[in-house]
Amino acid sequence: MARSDHFGRAKLRARQLQGSVPKALAAHYDRTSGLIVVRLSSRLNVSFSPHDAQGLEHARPSQLEPIEISPSGFGIHFPKLDADLYLPGLLEGFLGSQRWMASRLGQVGGKSRSTAKRAAARANGKLGGRPKKAV
């Protein structure tokens, strides 16, 4: 059970966010560009590809509308996917949980075709390659 001091701290953090982070006023999926566009209270529009956001990466265009905005303005919700994005995290460049973002970075690194990576793979191959998994 949560203690009352936890609620007090949560309310304080929410008040601090209210004054320092813009809120979402509107959001829609732009089929022409294939981007989700969020209009902020700072009069700035932020757009991103749904393929780069956790929970939306496999979504079809028909699943990306409607988009609901949370009462606080800090969250956007995709009802057809039951997916949520946290606006302050989105503005900091985080389109998913820390674990999900790390896996995406690993995928990018694994696709690297650098000279150093090719040389390391050749050297590893000369030593017998990747060790077999123990069963």
The model's pTM is 0.62
What are the strands of the beta sheet with 24-30, ordered from one edge? 24-30, 35-40, 45-48
Nearest to 27 by CA among 93, 62, 78: 78
CATH 3.30.2020.40 spans which residues of the chain? 22-95
The domain defined by 22-95 carries CATH number 1.10.260.30:
no
Whether the Cβ atoms of residue 83 and residue 67 lie closer than 8 Å to each other: no
Q: Mind listing the pLDDT tens digit for each residue in 74-123?
A: 899 999 999 999 888 887 766 555 665 566 555 555 556 778 877 887 88
Nearest to 90 by CA among 5, 21, 6, 1: 21
